[in-house]
Chain A
């Protein structure tokens, strides 16, 4: 079947199998390899992207369901794809050492952007609850929490297109 999806601001038209999962569309059809599959069971959140502005687990969404929609992955955050700066959430994850092996990171960052879009000034507790669907084995979440709280100091950290100043 044919789908039309805007991925990281670029409209695409692709022929896909009805059973294709959105995460495989992003990785294999669109060639965006940052979004990872961590668990297959909608548990770990490594595959989190923004679909029509809200965070979703792309391993549990069919490409077909996203037909006509807009997707943002970590590659499309901030301005680095066009030579610009990192998004405030990306920058804060680096500053606070909110990542180690990096495998959960694209999903964790997208979930954080989604969280901040809905709640720009979360408390510690709200950050923890807001990321309950994203697993990390390396950091114990300590620095992820700090990173999200740091990013929240940027007023537009909930907007995918936001960039830190150079």
Chain B
């Protein structure tokens, strides 16, 4: 399978990316690792006429500390996020989640910004960033704006990104020692989650329980109100109606959400040193 023809251009700086986007408009797509885009192009679900390769823009790939936050450049690979000492110490949920994506080859190429901008509700990172209460820095012609992760995801493959904006960085609060839990329910290790749960510091987000990472509000409120994990987790599917598919019915997804939320919360509690 081969993509339809396109022109390829390699951006050299963030500013250059914006210029190229302005020049090519809607016909262009950004290419970082290409592990969301190229598979869609090969089956011709996407046929952009220009690809702007942003992978070698130096100022987009980094992991650094900025006060109370960790900041991660958009083209940082999943493998780098998974193996970063800084992230493992201050946001271990994120490094763990990055290590669950796909397989080693995919993690070598795929990028944090690319995965988030793709906005697949079954993916590892969207729910993780929502659970982490992360913030995305969006760079556009008029500068940078910040959008909360939970406001960023709008629907299946739809985000708050304007057509002339890119994700430039991902910001997550540093929380060393705070317990976290991650449950990814799959048939095979390298599958997408049938249901996934990420939780840290009383926030819970779920993968594949709707068109965007779902927040089980009732569970979070119960936890905040001092209820036990079992009671709170039992509410995890309240008001959430995921679609059924060949792997799971709506009812089965809801059941998994309750079981996995309980397990993730138990793990988080057992890890908590704060």
The answer to whether A and B touch in the complex, with CB atoms under 8 Å apart, is yes
Residues of B within 8 Å of A41, CB to CB, are 39, 42-43
Encode B72-101 as 1/0 by CB contact (under 8 A) with A.
000000010000000000000000000000
- For the complex, is A45 an interface residue (Cβ under 8 Å from B)? yes
Q: How far is the CA of A48 from the CA of B103 in the complex (A)?
A: 12
Q: Quick check: B1 and A60 within 8 Å, CB to CB?
A: no
Encode B1-41 as 1/0 by CB contact (under 8 A) with A.
11111111010000000000000000000010011001100
Minimal Cβ-Cβ distance residue in A for B79: A54
Q: How far is the CA of A24 from the CA of B3 in the complex (A)?
A: 13
- For the complex, is A101 an interface residue (Cβ under 8 Å from B)? no
Minimal Cβ-Cβ distance residue in A for B189: A132
- For the complex, is A79 an interface residue (Cβ under 8 Å from B)? no
Given contact pairs A19-B4, A132-B103, A61 touches B34 in the complex (Cβ within 8 A)? yes
Q: Quick check: A56 and B1 within 8 Å, CB to CB?
A: no
Given contact pairs A42-B39, A60-B34, A60-B39, A133 touches B8 in the complex (Cβ within 8 A)? no
Given contact pairs A42-B35, A60-B35, A64-B53, A18 touches B8 in the complex (Cβ within 8 A)? yes
Select one of A24, A43, A55 contacting B104, CB under 8 A: A55
- Shortest CB-to-CB span from A52 to chain B, Å, is 9
Q: How far is the CA of A56 from the CA of B33 in the complex (A)?
A: 11
Minimal Cβ-Cβ distance residue in B for A41: B39
Q: How far is the CA of A114 from the CA of B106 in the complex (A)?
A: 13
Encode A122-153 as 1/0 by CB contact (under 8 A) with B.
00000001101110000000000000000000
Residues of B within 8 Å of A21, CB to CB, are 2
Encode A27-62 as 1/0 by CB contact (under 8 A) with B.
000000000000011110100100000111101111
Chain A interface: which size bin? 20 to 34
Residues of B within 8 Å of A64, CB to CB, are 8, 10, 53
- For the complex, is B105 an interface residue (Cβ under 8 Å from A)? yes
Q: How far is the CA of A62 from the CA of B32 in the complex (A)?
A: 11
Minimal Cβ-Cβ distance residue in B for A1: B8
Q: Quick check: A56 and B102 within 8 Å, CB to CB?
A: no
Total contacts A-B at CB 8 Å: 84
Q: Quick check: B105 and A129 within 8 Å, CB to CB?
A: no
Q: Quick check: B8 and A111 within 8 Å, CB to CB?
A: no
Minimal Cβ-Cβ distance residue in A for B7: A18
Interface of A is mostly: mixed
- For the complex, is A72 an interface residue (Cβ under 8 Å from B)? no
Q: Quick check: B105 and A111 within 8 Å, CB to CB?
A: yes
Given contact pairs A17-B5, A62-B34, A133 touches B53 in the complex (Cβ within 8 A)? no
Residues of A within 8 Å of B102, CB to CB, are 42, 133
- Shortest CB-to-CB span from B182 to chain A, Å, is 15
Q: Quick check: A60 and B108 within 8 Å, CB to CB?
A: no
- Shortest CB-to-CB span from A114 to chain B, Å, is 7
Q: How far is the CA of A11 from the CA of B3 in the complex (A)?
A: 27
Q: Quick check: A130 and B104 within 8 Å, CB to CB?
A: yes
Q: Quick check: A55 and B105 within 8 Å, CB to CB?
A: yes
Residues of A within 8 Å of B190, CB to CB, are 43, 132-133
Residues of B within 8 Å of A80, CB to CB, are none
- For the complex, is A89 an interface residue (Cβ under 8 Å from B)? no
Q: How far is the CA of A57 from the CA of B3 in the complex (A)?
A: 16
- Shortest CB-to-CB span from B29 to chain A, Å, is 12
- For the complex, is B264 an interface residue (Cβ under 8 Å from A)? no
Q: How far is the CA of A115 from the CA of B10 in the complex (A)?
A: 30
Give the A-binding residues of B (Cβ under 8 A): 1-8, 10, 31, 34-35, 38-39, 42-43, 51, 53, 55, 79, 102-106, 108-109, 188-190
Q: Beyond the given A21-B2, A40-B1, A114-B104, please list 17 additional residue pairs across the A-B interface where CB-CB is below 8 A.
A: A18-B5, A19-B2, A19-B3, A40-B42, A41-B39, A41-B42, A42-B38, A54-B108, A56-B109, A61-B109, A62-B38, A62-B51, A65-B53, A111-B105, A132-B104, A133-B105, A133-B190
* 15 A-B pairs in the complex with CB atoms less than 8 angstroms apart: A40-B42, A41-B43, A42-B38, A48-B105, A55-B105, A57-B105, A62-B8, A64-B10, A64-B53, A65-B53, A65-B55, A111-B104, A132-B188, A133-B105, A134-B103
The 10 closest A-B pairs by CB, nearest first: A133-B103, A18-B8, A40-B1, A54-B108, A64-B8, A57-B105, A132-B190, A132-B189, A132-B103, A19-B3
